[in-house]
Structure 1
Amino acid sequence: MNSRRIGLRRAPLRKQLNGSNIITNMRVFCFGLKHTRARYAGEVTMVDRWFGFFMEKVDELGLLRDTLILFTADHGHYLNYPGDGGLIGKPLSYRGERFPMYQSLVNIPLIVRMPDGVSAGERRKGIVQPADTMPTILDFLGIDIPEHCHGQSFLPLLLGKPQQRRKFAFSGAYNNITHVSNAQWSYGCWEKHRPPVLFDLTNDPLQTKNVLEQKEDVAAMLHGELIEFLQSIGAPEEKIERYQRYLPFV
């Protein structure tokens, strides 16, 4: 099934459909959605099974005592569940319409097994980004982290030690959308094409209401954090300038 926003209102022949055809179309859609979700669940089951085989082999080789294992992904996936914005797959645009990055896309799994099972079963609170993976591995191996590295080691977090933690997570797709979030706010903006969006995750976890107009101060703060982040990683000046001109209240 192609990645797209789902809905009968987008059917090309919607003006020609009578009641019975609408019911038939809905049945086809429901079957396709059920099939897509089942296939995705099957893939998850397959990964789980083969990762189990991998862990068994690591144990068989006697490596679990001194091996750090990280399980993660590069992005989430929409399956038209509540909070997915009516989307399937990972679309950021469709036929000229551009979509925010909902939490089910930007929140990704991170499961860590410490050597010899240290801290097994515990959860850690904090914001970790994919760019933090490499410096964490280097830190674990006792290798100096390069100064130009964009990420930071979260090994202290795993060990339960004090650490200066990230305040926000930054996500995006090149030349499409940039996303800033923490536990309370989800802010998305584009270099052009459409106005930004702001969701209050505390009161609206499914991201159904854009509160940008009511919370312009929050949007301005998050946009400022985005500018600082782009500057810190050495983003091209022209890109930073485009974002600096983006909002009238920044």
Structure 2
Amino acid sequence: MKLILRALVLAGILLTGQTQAQTMKSKKPNIIFIVADDLGYGNLTSYNQKSPIPTPNIDRLAKEGTKFTRFYSGSTVCAPSRCALMTGYHMGHAYVRGNSKAKDGTGALRAQDTTMAQRLQQNGYVTGMFGKWGLGDEETQGAPHLKGFNEFYGYLDQAHAHDYYTNRLLEIRDNKTQTVKVDTTQYTQDLIVNKALAFLKNHKEDPFFLYLPLTLPHAELKVPKELLKKFQKADGSSKFGPETPFQKKNNYDSQPQPRAAFAAMVSKLDGDVGKIVELVKQLGLDDNTYIFFTSDNGPHKEGGGDPVFFNSSGPLRGVKRDLYEGGIRVPLLVRAPGRVPAGKVSDQPWAFWDILPTVGQLTATPTPANIDGISFAEALAGKTPVKKHDYFYWQFKEGELKEAVTQGYWKLIRFKEEGKPELLELYNLQNDLSEKSNLAAKNPTKVKELKALMVQAKTPSENKTFDWTSVEQ
């Protein structure tokens, strides 16, 4: 009789385990998408062993997941890059193609610009955003509560997000984005991450989309004193001396030790990513959660930032606001135990505008057919994607107009100022990743082919703020 009882108990345990496993597989996967702000390709030790700032928690995502070495941001600055991420359009078709005040008719999304969050929300996901939005102020059609988010806490305005100690942030309350008071002695990164951790705890039983567009390490370079100490000597001087103090300029405050402050911000970012991953494990969500980590564009040199000292672009040329690889090629680490191969490195090229359809395929969420993005879910699974891009395209204008197109390893960059002849640069990224040798004069046929692709890739902007047709005259 005892043997029969033991057999029945064992069978029950096995059945329960199988049922739980089947339930986990049938449950919609959770999505956590973390975007650092102005973090360079070379600011992670998993991408650049020469980086003087250890990033062990983010590096662990590479060990436990897949590292993509040719992933591209949507643009070379904040707002348009996020527009590409949310809407699936590259800069030849996106509504927001540059940084601008996030008002209706300028830098805010319109009612017809549906986002990844809206689509996931319609598919039964609880959606939360904690960090910097940048695509619509509270009174616009692009406000977070109108763009698919159940919860939001953080900044709407990009200039406001430069201030890490502020008396106000914004939050969705009563289904509306509203200003909330904040203690000016509180570091906003802590407030934002604490809200994200609470979101995870509160929705562990729901399929969720957690979007974390964190503000670190964007200028201004400011951190709590206790975090700065990690990069200071016993006498209080910087470990990265001699420092060149940054004097207050525009809306960036002074910083006597900008290198130490930047390092502390990257270290803080790394620690906060570690908190997110650890909580996912503690809550038992590990086997059903995709965690993405990336950056919105290349590294900055604002507010005392020193990308040369930190080798922030790694082997790449250029920084934020450039269309050289250093301005648009960004880290991408994806972790999902049992779903994404661990320790794999992939050079599959893809971009921000591919995230919407990729997440759509992972979650069985319908995506529009007319967007520029395509799904790379197969690449996440370690397989060769059936469908790939023929080319990638960007445009950007602050001063002169810049355009770039890549096809295979060939890359053409175009510079055009109003009333002046265009300048063209051609590179072969396979042999010249640092874009040092301009091959345009030697390859006129290839230049002609890629320039034709540039024309094909873009349409005139529907947003007059980003109508740059006069430059073409």
Normalised by the length of structure 1, the TM-score is 0.67
Q: 1:171 matched to which residue of 2?
A: 394
- Cross-structure match for 2:372: 150
Aligned equivalent of 2:411, options 186, 209, 212: 186
1:202 aligns with 2:425: no
Q: Distance in 2 between matches of 1:36 and 1:225?
A: 42
Alignment match, 1:7? none
In the TM superposition, what are the counterparts of 1:115-126 in structure 2 within 5 Å? 115-116=337-338, 118-126=340-348
Q: Which residue of 1 aligns with 2:448?
A: 220
Secondary structure of 1:132's counterpart equals helix
For residues 220 and 36 of structure 1, the distance between their equivalents in structure 2, rounded to whole angstroms, comes to 44
Question: What are the residue-to-residue correspondences of 1:46-65 with 2, within 5 Å?
Answer: 46-65=268-287
1:129 alignment partner AA: A
Report matched runs for 1:66-81 at 5 Å: 66-77=288-299, 79-80=307-308, 81=311
Among all aligned residue pairs of Structure 1 and Structure 2, give the percentage whose two residues are the same amino acid: 22
Report the count of equivalent residues.
203
Counterpart secondary structure, 1:210: coil
**Structure 1 residues 220 and 68, CA gap change in structure 2 (3 angstroms):** same
Counterparts in 2 of 1:235 and 1:205: CA distance versus 1, 3 Å: same
> Which residue in the other structure is 2:320 paired with?
90
Contact 1:172 1:179 in 2 (8 A): yes
Using CA pairs below 8 Å that are at least 6 residues apart, which structure has the higher relative contact order? 2
CA displacement at 1:201 relative to structure 2: 2.7
Label 1:130 to 1:58 Cα distance change in 2 as closer, same or farther (>3 A): same
Letter in 2 for 1:166: H
Distance in 2, Cα, partners of 1:184 & 1:202: 6
Separation in 1, partners of 2:442, 2:282: 58
Shift of 1:141: 0.8
Unaligned runs of 5+ in 2: 1-241, 246-256, 301-306
- Specify the structure having the higher radius of gyration (Cα): 2
**Rounded Cα–Cα distance in structure 2 between residues aligned with 1:207 and 1:58:** 40
Secondary structure at 1:69 match in 2: strand
Q: Is the 8 A contact 1:69 1:112 kept in 2?
A: yes
Distance in 2 separating the partners of 1:65 and 1:211: 48
Change (3 A) 1:152 1:242: farther
Give ranges in structure 1 of 5+ residues lacking alignment: 1-29, 93-100
C-alpha distance in structure 2 between counterparts of 1:201 and 1:170, whole Å:
15
Contact 1:83 1:102 in 2 (8 A): no
Give me the whole-angstrom Cα distance separating, in 1, the residues matched to 2:272 and 2:291: 15
2:332 pairs with 110, 116, 120, which one?
Answer: 110
Q: Which is helix-richer, 1 or 2?
A: 1
Q: CA RMSD in A?
A: 3.3
